Amino acid sequence: MTQSSVLAAGKAPMVASLEAARGFAALYVTIAHLLQILGFKSGQGSMPLLVEMVGGYAHQAVLFFFLLSGFSIHYASLHRPLDTWQGVKAYLLLRVRRLYPIWLVVYALAVILIWIGVQRDIPRYQVWWAGISQWDWWANLLFLGDRGYVCGRLANALPSTAVWSLGYEVIYYLLYPVFWWSTRRFGIHRTLWAVGVTSGVAFWLNEQHCHHLWNVLELYIGWCLGAWIAHRQRVGLTFKLSGEAAFLVGMALLLVALAVGYTRFAALAELSWLGLFFILMAWHWADPTYRTPAGPRKAHLAMIMVLMAILVLALEQWRHFATSSSLFTGRVIVFTLGSLILLVWSGRPSAGTAMAQLTRWLLPLGGVSYAQYLLHLPLIQAGHAYGGPWGAIVALPITWLLAYWLEKQWQPQVNSRLPIHWPASAAR
Quick check: 77 pLDDT over 60?
A: yes
Q: What's the confidence (pLDDT) of residue 181?
A: 96
Domain boundaries, the chain: 16-39+47-238+287-292+346-417, 239-286+293-345
How far is the C-alpha of 93 from the C-alpha of 276, rounded, in Å? 33
- pLDDT > 90 in the chain, percent: 72
pLDDT band at 333 (very low <50, low <70, confident <90, very high): very high
How far is the C-alpha of 51 from the C-alpha of 334, rounded, in Å? 13
Mean pLDDT of the region 316-333: 88
Task: With beta carbons less than 8 A apart as the criterion, state whether 13 and 6 touch.
Answer: yes
How far is the C-alpha of 135 from the C-alpha of 154, rounded, in Å? 10
Q: How many residues does the chain have?
A: 428
- How many helical (H) and strand (E) elements, i.e. helices and strands, does the chain have? 19, 2
H or E element that contains 184:
helix 164-185
pLDDT in tens, 169-202: 999 999 999 999 999 999 999 999 999 999 999 9
How far is the C-alpha of 293 from the C-alpha of 284, rounded, in Å? 14
What b-and-e string marks burial along 355-388, b requiring 16 or more CB atoms within 10 Å of the CB?
Answer: eeeebeebbebbbbbbbbbbbbbbbbbbbbbeee
Helices (DSSP H) in 235-324: which residue ranges? 243-260, 267-284, 288-291, 295-319
H or E element that contains 155:
strand 155-156
What b-and-e string marks burial along 6-44, b requiring 16 or more CB atoms within 10 Å of the CB?
Answer: ebeebebeebebbbbbbbbbbbbbbbbbbbbbeebebee
Task: With beta carbons less than 8 A apart as the criterion, state whether 167 and 65 touch.
Answer: no
pLDDT in tens, 28-65: 999 999 999 998 877 665 567 888 888 889 999 999 99
Does residue 151 sit in helix, strand or coil? coil
pTM (two decimals): 0.92
Neighbours of 389 (CB within 10 A): 13
Task: With beta carbons less than 8 A apart as the criterion, state whether 402 and 370 touch.
Answer: no
How far is the C-alpha of 425 from the C-alpha of 362, rounded, in Å? 36
Average pLDDT, the chain: 90
H or E element that contains 175:
helix 164-185
